[in-house]
């Protein structure tokens, strides 16, 4: 008789990946029948929901020594974030063929592997599984064929550079440690290990869009369909943040970890300043995404400075959870409304008051206005930075937050107080449902953070 522990461990580790494998196979089979696009879209949404259900196993045995993949509360919490972040795109995304569903599910599978990994090789496999479908999504679901092809090419080469950095970092790590397994605090101070962590951390910062490694991001987000840009800016960014945290946790006092607070402050400032001059809404939100990435990187730096314990990651997790709703909502609004420039936005509230109200919620939340989720998210990150003694980067972050207020509030002003064509837009039922599903947590999480209490317990004692 097979012992129960290995079976439980296999189910706990492979439940969501198995769901994605089955979903991918079904979508491929659906591609041979009629109505394949509609069936594929439904199967994609159902597969994500199945992954969310299976991420909660009944038993969670301790990982075996040398395990490549091992589930725990920390990995469970992050998988919830990844799969939930993909749902708006799964619901709103184009359904011309089965390809979009295959690609975003493949990318989500890679994110899940990053969450479950206990080995640098598996981290790399997860990174590639997450990234390669994303390049194809940009190319196939762009708003303009030429622009999307150019953006996909830029995305591919920047992603290839990130992969090369990560592989080189893995090689240096193996040369020093003689193993690819890793654990928090497992690496002693050493120049070779320090260089290894810097290389792998650089790869993660590429994916997050940190300055000066952000050059690909505005073009990619602008050339993509709005709902796809929302997927990139939430689920993929969260996976890249977890990748950075995995690397930093190996040696929380490394040069990489010490550089992160200033990298975050610089990213915030540059993103906020560059967003000020943008007229195209999707590009403005791309630079906004860079600024928010800076907040998260500052949080990772503070987390590392205080020992990088899983339980202390709650501020980062809460920020990403709030950002999932705020930014997916903002990009989904662009998809539903069809607005492209600030000129289009002027007077929008007169013709479409409900959609304008939802848009205002997203902008106020992204700005960090109380009592929205964005306010509490920024407050938690800034409080962690204060506790870690990161006073100078924190001051820089506060300045950047004030600059960001200008463009977020000016967008609300354009919609409500500027003269323009009062266009009446209702949008599809699915589009309106996604907007309401994103707007309610964006407004309420700041008042009721206890909703994420069970997630906080999953992260660690």
Note the pLDDT tens digit of each residue in 239-257: 999 999 999 998 888 889 9
Domain count, the chain: 1
Question: In this predicted structure, what is the pLDDT of residue 144?
Answer: 55
What share of the chain in percent tops pLDDT 90? 46
- Look at residue 2 and tell me whether its pLDDT is greater than 50: no
* pLDDT for 4 beyond 60: no
Q: Among the residues of 209-254, which ranges form H helices? A: 217-223, 226-231, 237-250
Q: Distance of alpha carbon 371 from its chain centroid, rounded?
A: 23
- Domain enclosing residue 389, as ranges: 4-459
Give percent of the chain with pLDDT exceeding 70.
88
Looking at residue 178, its pLDDT comes to: 86
Looking at residue 186, what is its pLDDT? 63
pLDDT tier for residue 292 given thresholds of 50, 70 and 90: very high
Residue 222 has pLDDT above 80, yes or no: yes
Contact 224, 142 (CB under 8 A): yes
pLDDT tens profile 336-354: 988 888 888 888 888 888 9
pLDDT digits (tens, 9 = 90+) for 99-148: 788 888 999 999 999 998 888 999 999 999 999 999 988 877 555 566 67
- Specify the pLDDT at position 334: 92
C-alpha pair distances (Å), 151 with each of 159, 183, 268, 284: 12, 36, 23, 16
Distance CA 348, CA 352 (A): 6
Q: Give the confidence band of 26 by pLDDT, cuts at 50, 70, 90.
A: confident
Q: How many residues does the chain have?
A: 461
Residue 286 CA to residue 39 CA, distance in Å, equals 32
> What is residue 96's predicted lDDT score, i.e. its pLDDT?
63
- pLDDT score of 34: 59
Those residues with Cβ within 8 angstroms of residue 428's Cβ, 6 or more apart along the chain or in another chain: 336
- Helix 255-276 to helix 281-305 angle (10° resolution) is 160
What span, in angstroms and rounded, lies between the C-alpha atoms of 329 and 439? 7
C-alpha to C-alpha distance for 315 and 45, rounded to whole angstroms? 29
What DSSP designation does 368 have? T
Single pTM value for the model: 0.91
């Amino acid at each position: 008789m097979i012992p129960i522990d290995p079976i439980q461990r296999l189910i706990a580790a492979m439940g969501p990946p198995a769901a994605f494998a089955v979903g991918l196979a079904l979508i491929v089979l659906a591609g041979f029948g009629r109505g394949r696009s509609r069936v594929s879209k439904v199967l994609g949404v159902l597969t994500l929901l199945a992954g969310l259900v299976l991420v909660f196993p009944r038993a969670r045995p301790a990982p075996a020594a040398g395990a490549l993949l091992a589930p725990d509360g920390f990995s469970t919490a992050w998988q919830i974030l990844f799969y939930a972040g993909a749902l708006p795109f799964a619901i709103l995304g184009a359904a011309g063929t089965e390809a979009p569903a295959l690609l975003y599910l493949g990318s989500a599978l890679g994110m899940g592997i990053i969450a479950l990994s206990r080995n640098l090789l598996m981290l790399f496999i997860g990174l590639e599984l997450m990234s390669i479908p994303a390049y194809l999504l940009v190319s196939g679901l762009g708003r303009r064929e030429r622009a999307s092809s150019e953006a996909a090419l830029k995305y591919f080469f920047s992603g290839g550079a990130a992969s090369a950095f990560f592989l080189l970092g893995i090689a240096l790590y193996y040369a020093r440690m003689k193993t690819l397994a890793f654990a928090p605090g497992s690496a002693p101070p050493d120049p070779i290990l320090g260089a290894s962590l810097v290389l792998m951390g650089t790869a993660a910062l590429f994916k997050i869009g940190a300055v000066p490694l952000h050059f690909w991001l505005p073009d990619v987000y602008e050339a993509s369909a709005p709902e796809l840009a929302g997927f990139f800016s939430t689920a993929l960014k969260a996976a890249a943040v977890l990748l950075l945290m995995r690397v930093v946790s190996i040696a929380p006092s490394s040069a990489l970890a010490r550089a992160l607070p200033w990298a975050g402050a610089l990213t915030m400032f540059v993103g906020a300043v560059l967003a000020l001059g943008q007229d195209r809404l999707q590009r403005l939100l791309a630079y906004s995404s860079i600024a928010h990435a800076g907040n998260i990187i500052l949080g990772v730096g503070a987390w590392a400075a205080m020992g990088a314990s899983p339980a202390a990651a709650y501020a980062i997790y809460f920020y990403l959870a709030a950002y999932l709703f705020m930014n997916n909502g903002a990009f989904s609004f662009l998809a539903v409304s069809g607005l492209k420039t600030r000129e289009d936005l002027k007077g929008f509230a007169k013709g479409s008051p409900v959609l304008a109200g939802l848009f205002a919620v997203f902008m106020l939340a992204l700005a960090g206005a109380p009592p929205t989720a964005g306010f509490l998210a920024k407050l938690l990150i800034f409080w962690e930075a204060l506790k870690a003694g990161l006073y100078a980067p924190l001051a820089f972050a506060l300045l950047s937050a004030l600059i960001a207020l200008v463009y977020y509030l000016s967008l609300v002003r354009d919609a409500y107080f500027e003269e323009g064509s009062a266009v009446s837009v209702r949008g599809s039922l699915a589009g309106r449902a996604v907007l309401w599903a994103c707007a309610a947590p964006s407004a309420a999480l700041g008042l009721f953070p206890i909703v994420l209490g069970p997630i906080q317990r999953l992260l660690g004692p």
